[in-house]
Amino acid sequence: MTGMKPFRDLITFEEALKIILENSQPVSRTETVELEDSAGRVLVNDVTASRNVPGFSRAAMDGYAVRARDTFGASRTAPKTLNNMGQIFTGEAPNVTVENGQCIQIATGAPMPEGADSVVMVEETAHENDSIMIFKPVYPGANMSSHDSDISKGTVVLKAGIILDPPRIGVLAALGFEKVDVYGKPKVGIYPTGSEIAKPGDELKFGMVYDINSYTLASLLEKAGAEVIIHPIVKDTEDALVKCIQGASQDDYAVFSGGSSVGERDLLSSVVEKLGTILFHGIALKPGKPTLLGKVGETMILGLPGYPTSCLTNAYALFLPAVKKMARLPNEINQVNAQLAERVVSTIGRHHLYTVRLENGLAYPAFKESGAITSMSNASGWIDIPQNTEFLEKGTRVVVNMF
């Protein structure tokens, strides 16, 4: 026990979040990706249309391409009769011109022939041999779209900095883009530490547990736009930690799970202090008191608690906003108003991230202990209990931050 060093100065949760965000800048790296791989990525440059879309006038309905004036006065009792000149299918270039008294059958999306300025829907017609009876007049431009009805050449159709979603990817496809320039993803290396953890699938000896944190963190951060690599389990030695940090120079963040507390084998703080700078170590937070943030070279070092609930809750509340900022994505948290179903006791002097389960508008306690992953898997989200709050009574209105 002689090697244990208690925390001295704890910063507030709000201060810790501010420091993390200040030291997490949007990624400036760019890369070119295939269009099919661009979903969720952030566009680097404005996109100006190099062509009109669709590029030709086309039918918007199945029916007959006509001269609108030839249909004026048509009705069910006094139809106009036109001579059908054939058919036009999608993908075909028309080889006829529609003259007075003529029409041509046309499919939705097919190019309009010369001379025609509108389409009569097939429901408003009847045919007898090559004669087509028109029961309803149309106006010029009816049931058709112009050559630039979707996109006009020279217009800015997508602005730099937007997130590429399916409709926007559709715009790029409509303009013929095969690839697109996007901002790079934040690079995060995850380094699980501790002689007590084993990789899932390996033999589990007595006193050991499987590595949970690497997989919960990776899934959370990848969803937030990060490029994540899970590294092999790191031994609780100074040499092993030094080697890891020195090898993480290409990471924007090196995240260590465990080793940030004050036990004899919690060596991360001393290693970071030797190699770089500690920005904070210790937060007045429950769970998550031993969280550490430092910087070595250009790489940020984040030390998260080893217990699964502490690790993942802190990642949600503290690290996720930073990753989204680096990825140039909005930090949107789905929040739900609810009432506490039971009295909740907190800890004076520490901001409390308390997991709850929602049922019928009521928030039930889900927290068991920091080492229990079911404190998270059985929860819908967490509530923030301010630092100097001893308890919240049953029925208190709370805001649940949804996972």
Q: Does residue 368 have a pLDDT over 70?
A: yes
Residues 179 and 189 in one domain: no
Domain end marker among 124, 145, 166? 145
Query: Domain boundary at 145, 160, 194, which?
Result: 145
Do 116 and 68 have their domain in common?
yes
Query: Could you tell me if 271 and 352 lie in one domain?
Result: no
pLDDT at site 375 = 82
Which pLDDT tens digit goes with each residue over 109-146?
Answer: 999 999 999 999 999 999 988 899 999 999 999 999 99
Kindly state whether residues 171 and 197 are assigned to the same domain. Answer: no
**One domain, residues 167 and 229:** no
User: Do 291 and 223 have their domain in common?
Assistant: yes
Which whole number is the average pLDDT over 63-71?
98
38 located within any domain: no
Classify residue 1: in a domain, yes or no.
no
Tell me if 341 is assigned to some domain. yes
* Same-domain check for residues 243 and 304: yes
Residue 1 pLDDT greater than 50, yes or no: no
Average pLDDT over residues 73-93: 96
Same domain, 298 and 202: yes
SS3 81: strand
Distance, CA of 326 to CA of 215 (rounded, Å): 21
Cα distances from 254 to residues 75, 188, 299, in angstroms, run 75, 6, 7
- Residues 80, 113 within the same domain: yes
Rounded to 5°, angle at Cα 296 from 304 and 18: 55
Task: Write out the two tokens for 173.
Answer: 């496809």
pLDDT in tens, 216-246: 999 999 999 999 999 999 988 999 999 999 9
Are the C-beta atoms of residues 64 and 122 closer than 8 Å to each other?
A: yes
Q: Which domain holds residue 363?
A: 335-402
Number of domains comprising the chain: 4
Express each pLDDT in 379-392 by its tens digit: 999 999 999 899 99
276 and 359 in one domain?
Answer: no
User: Does 242 share its domain with 285?
Assistant: yes
Tokens 């503290």 map to which residue? 318
Domain CATH for 353: 2.40.340.10
Same domain, 225 and 314: yes
For residue 261, name the pLDDT band (cuts at 50, 70, 90).
Answer: low
